[in-house]
Chains A and B, each alone.
Chain A
């Protein structure tokens, strides 16, 4: 407790202008930045996978399963930043057993569960069921048992049943697209519905979150696809890569336009909060907003991906540009979440002052925990790729 007061007195000297007493310390720190970031990656990766299936974009086939497994790996971690942010993480389940119908956050628990259980797990299961059954017969030891459990006892491989896999899987994907929109639109809604905060409160928020989610998810799958191909020393399917990059480019345009629209609207309306928000983006958020989010994270990828739509250099050059652009997009979207979450708490609701935010290294809100939640999904993905390798699907022949 003593350190807490020490911290408080320290923070008091960082305050500018007039703020209310409860605004000194940011309640939502780095972990809450990760929460929309990670859920966004999930929704984006899933939507990319659905493109292949529902809209029948055949060139994307090489990344279909990869995108699904990426979505799953990140979805499993998506709630972790929230849970570790709690004062009593061991009570996390209470949000599910005693949800308050008025609470946007409480309902998110069910949106999440729906998406995990009914959409993602089912889609992956239907997609892999044939192979899981075959592998459960061929493999030995631990792996055999894992596959046996995963079949859930449905080992029928007759053409009729396989057709059902296809049909129900398709149905799940169709249900999945609105669900993915719901999942991430909902995260945007949680922020957009805070009417006391002029930086958050806009009806465009869910839409902006959704499009930035697609952008970041597509960039992530692109990076992971390139990384996995590199590690497996396999040639990258340039057709698929070009197509993903094309989608990335188009959706980035939409995302940028929407965010621009939001800002133009804000600037033209110039409500009473405008002055403080303008000070905010030109002051404390200058680096993360103008430089990181807009310049590095949007303009540079837009220009470089845009040029590639008109003029196609050699494969090597294209790959390098795709890779760098995707990394920049991922970086930019992270700071977009940062600017929303942290930015929205830096200015006082009196509109007369600012507080400050310093990342702490250790502790449950600190940098180290956040790193864990960023690295963990990649480990889970590695495990999933070991268990359900997409590249071995074609080879799996029944005996």
Chain B
């Protein structure tokens, strides 16, 4: 056998062995318990900080939720517009987003041919330009129009 192979073959075997030994120690204990993942990661994920609190949480202090049920925005959650509210839920001193810009309502309502029949649309250039939407529409009860 050529002397090169006499060295290389044992080296490669050594490399593969080292890999297998490292693998033995590196594979997490709970790996494969319930599938191709580390089962304990479920616990780790539970400990991640939460950012959204959900509508029920807001309802503990604000009666807006109950109120909203009677109008077209009933299906939206508070946090769609006000942003993640967990910090506010824990301490109301943490302010939330107050989205009063026309462009904000436009994210969903600006004319857009791709969703013509799914959502009421207005042309932002033509629908009462120069005024904020919330000056007329109550964002929680959009058909309650201010005079």
Given A13-B103, A153-B7, 15 further pairs, Cβ under 8 A: A1-B51, A1-B84, A12-B107, A13-B107, A17-B114, A18-B115, A96-B23, A97-B26, A98-B27, A98-B31, A122-B8, A152-B11, A161-B3, A168-B2, A352-B114
Task: Knowing A5-B84, A154-B3, A154-B4 are in contact, say whether A353-B114 is a contact too (CB < 8 A).
Answer: yes
Chain B residues at the A interface, C-beta cutoff of 8 Å: 2-8, 11-12, 15, 19, 22-23, 26-27, 31, 36, 49, 51, 83-84, 103, 107, 112-115
Partner of B5, one of A1, A153, A168: A168
B8 touches A152 (CB 8 A): yes
Distance from A300 Cβ to chain B, minimum over Cβ atoms (Å): 38
The 8 closest A-B pairs by CB, nearest first: A18-B114, A164-B2, A352-B114, A97-B23, A17-B114, A156-B3, A154-B7, A97-B26
- Interface positions of A from 143 to 161, Cβ below 8 Å from B: 152-154, 156, 161
Q: Is A239 part of the contact surface with B, judged by Cβ < 8 Å?
A: no
B4 touches A17 (CB 8 A): no
Q: Is A383 part of the contact surface with B, judged by Cβ < 8 Å?
A: no
Q: Is A93 part of the contact surface with B, judged by Cβ < 8 Å?
A: yes
B112 touches A18 (CB 8 A): yes
Distance from A276 Cβ to chain B, minimum over Cβ atoms (Å): 11
Q: Is A117 part of the contact surface with B, judged by Cβ < 8 Å?
A: yes
Q: Is A100 part of the contact surface with B, judged by Cβ < 8 Å?
A: yes
26 A-B residue pairs with CB within 8 Å: A1-B49, A1-B51, A13-B103, A17-B113, A17-B114, A18-B114, A93-B26, A96-B23, A97-B22, A97-B26, A97-B27, A98-B27, A98-B31, A117-B15, A122-B8, A126-B4, A152-B11, A153-B7, A154-B6, A154-B7, A161-B2, A164-B3, A165-B4, A168-B4, A168-B5, A353-B114
For A93, the closest partner residue in chain B by CB is B26
Distance from B45 Cβ to chain A, minimum over Cβ atoms (Å): 13
In the complex, which residues of chain B have a beta carbon less than 8 angstroms from the beta carbon of A1? 49, 51, 84
In the complex, which residues of chain B have a beta carbon less than 8 angstroms from the beta carbon of A96? 19, 23
A5 touches B103 (CB 8 A): no
In the complex, which residues of chain A have a beta carbon less than 8 angstroms from the beta carbon of B103? 13
In the complex, which residues of chain B have a beta carbon less than 8 angstroms from the beta carbon of A350? 114
In the complex, which residues of chain B have a beta carbon less than 8 angstroms from the beta carbon of A152? 7-8, 11
Q: Is A129 part of the contact surface with B, judged by Cβ < 8 Å?
A: yes
Distance from B68 Cβ to chain A, minimum over Cβ atoms (Å): 22
- Interface positions of A from 193 to 242, Cβ below 8 Å from B: none
Distance from B138 Cβ to chain A, minimum over Cβ atoms (Å): 22
Q: How far is the CA of A350 from the CA of B118 in the complex (A)?
A: 15
Distance from B10 Cβ to chain A, minimum over Cβ atoms (Å): 10
For A13, the closest partner residue in chain B by CB is B103
Q: How far is the CA of A338 from the CA of B107 in the complex (A)?
A: 29
In the complex, which residues of chain A have a beta carbon less than 8 angstroms from the beta carbon of B11? 152
Distance from A95 Cβ to chain B, minimum over Cβ atoms (Å): 12
In the complex, which residues of chain A have a beta carbon less than 8 angstroms from the beta carbon of B83? 5
Distance from B6 Cβ to chain A, minimum over Cβ atoms (Å): 8
Q: How far is the CA of A94 from the CA of B11 in the complex (A)?
A: 23
Q: How far is the CA of A119 from the CA of B11 in the complex (A)?
A: 15
Q: How far is the CA of A92 from the CA of B125 in the complex (A)?
A: 51
Q: How far is the CA of A97 from the CA of B114 in the complex (A)?
A: 46
Q: How far is the CA of A154 from the CA of B51 in the complex (A)?
A: 61
Distance from B114 Cβ to chain A, minimum over Cβ atoms (Å): 4
Q: How far is the CA of A353 from the CA of B113 in the complex (A)?
A: 10
In the complex, which residues of chain A have a beta carbon less than 8 angstroms from the beta carbon of B5? 168
In the complex, which residues of chain A have a beta carbon less than 8 angstroms from the beta carbon of B115? 18
For B2, the closest partner residue in chain A by CB is A164
- Interface positions of A from 80 to 111, Cβ below 8 Å from B: 93-94, 96-98, 100
In the complex, which residues of chain A have a beta carbon less than 8 angstroms from the beta carbon of B84? 1, 5
In the complex, which residues of chain A have a beta carbon less than 8 angstroms from the beta carbon of B19? 96
Distance from A24 Cβ to chain B, minimum over Cβ atoms (Å): 11
For A100, the closest partner residue in chain B by CB is B36
Q: How far is the CA of A13 from the CA of B101 in the complex (A)?
A: 12
Per-residue 0/1 for A334-366: is the Cβ within 8 Å of any B Cβ (1 yes, 0 no)?
A: 000000000000000010110000000000000
For A17, the closest partner residue in chain B by CB is B114
Distance from B140 Cβ to chain A, minimum over Cβ atoms (Å): 20
Distance from B126 Cβ to chain A, minimum over Cβ atoms (Å): 20
In the complex, which residues of chain A have a beta carbon less than 8 angstroms from the beta carbon of B2? 161, 164, 168
In the complex, which residues of chain A have a beta carbon less than 8 angstroms from the beta carbon of B36? 98, 100
A164 touches B7 (CB 8 A): no
Q: How far is the CA of A129 from the CA of B2 in the complex (A)?
A: 14
Q: How far is the CA of A161 from the CA of B113 in the complex (A)?
A: 75
In the complex, which residues of chain B have a beta carbon less than 8 angstroms from the beta carbon of A353? 114
In the complex, which residues of chain A have a beta carbon less than 8 angstroms from the beta carbon of B107? 12-13
Which of B3, B22, B49, B115 is most buried by chain A, counting CB atoms within 10 A of its CB?
Answer: B3
Distance from B48 Cβ to chain A, minimum over Cβ atoms (Å): 11
